[in-house]
Amino acid sequence: MADTVPGGTLTLAHDLTITRMGFGAMQLAGPGVFGPPKDRDQALAVLREAVERGITHIDTSDFYGPFVVNELIKEALHPYPADLRIVTKVGARRGPDGSWNPSHEPEDLKAQVHENLQRLALDAIDVVNLRLSEEGTGEESIAEQFGALAELQKEGLIRHLGLSAASAAQLTEAQAIAPVVTVQNLYNLANRQDDALVDRCAAENIAYAAFFPLGGFTPLQSETLTNVAARLDASPQQVALAWLLQRSATTVLIPGTSSVAHLRENIAAASLVLPADALAELDTIGR
């Protein structure tokens, strides 16, 4: 394993240090994050390459596939390296047609945690994020749902808790129940609605994991981004990732890929330092 990984590490608790450049395992499943990968051997190789390159932060969920991605992680990496931290999320079930269906009943959330534990072959999960509905207003109470996960934390099945697709108000409500170490929300150069929350997470030493850092299923398209990247002799995707790492001290990245070559490009982005003029130019994209 590499001694260091570009981007450095972030310590969130005495037993939780992660590389700021992580790996999002979602894309290891089949098309639409449903079914098996097109190339199982390549998927396993990507996971092993990520760990060999020093990444200690893998983001996953049992509803990727469903089940497929966690089974790949177990096959590729178990028994897990001592410093590897696996972050999963609960709060949804997949329909037979691949649909994403919210599932927030407390007992089912607990069942989902047990399913993640079983498929990953873990006695305890490092971090479990409660995935909320992206269609919500951000004002819905999450006390019952987050409280159910806090019960499992007290039982020793979960080490740390986080939120996904959450508002500032929901973060505050959750913190009254148990400490929150991660917030995982949609955020990138073109989607800046969470600016204040990014700053709050930095002030409170909460990891802010920007999902869809490259725009998601509709990749970022920006002439400004393309021009900055050309000046810096980097790809637009690398510049977008580097911008996120420089956005705040607790921003962490979980870009996904099913390609070893693409994984290496993403990791290299963490070494890219953006000069002040490039940052100012890039800031105009989302404002």
Q: How far is CA 23 from CA 32, 199, 204, in A?
A: 18, 23, 23
- Per residue in 255-270, pLDDT (tens digit) is 999 999 999 999 999 9
Write down the residue that tokens 């329909």 correspond to.
95
Residue 187 has pLDDT above 70, yes or no: yes
Q: How far is CA 137 from CA 38, 167, 255, in A?
A: 37, 8, 26
pLDDT score, position 209: 98
C-alpha Rg value of the chain to the nearest Å: 18
- Per residue in 139-180, pLDDT (tens digit) is 999 999 999 999 999 999 999 999 999 999 999 999 999 999
Q: Nearest Cα to 91, choosing from 140, 46, 124?
A: 140
Residue 123 has pLDDT above 80, yes or no: yes
Distance (Å, whole) CA 164 – CA 176 = 17
Per the model's pLDDT, the better-predicted residue between 64 and 1 turns out to be 64
pTM of the model: 0.95
Average pLDDT over residues 123-149: 94
64 annotated active-site = yes
Q: Nearest Cα to 17, choosing from 79, 80, 84?
A: 84
* Helix (H), strand (E) at residue 282: helix 276-283
Beta strands in the chain (DSSP E): 9-13, 16-19, 23-24, 57-59, 85-90, 92-94, 100-102, 125-131, 158-164, 180-186, 207-211, 251-253
Please say whether the beta carbons of 57 and 270 come within 8 A: no
Check 64, 80, 187, 208 and give the catalytic one: 64
Residue 1's pLDDT band (cuts 50, 70, 90): very low
pLDDT score, position 3: 53
Amino acid letter for position 13: A
- Per residue in 190-245, pLDDT (tens digit) is 899 999 999 999 999 999 999 888 786 667 778 999 999 999 999 999 999 999 99
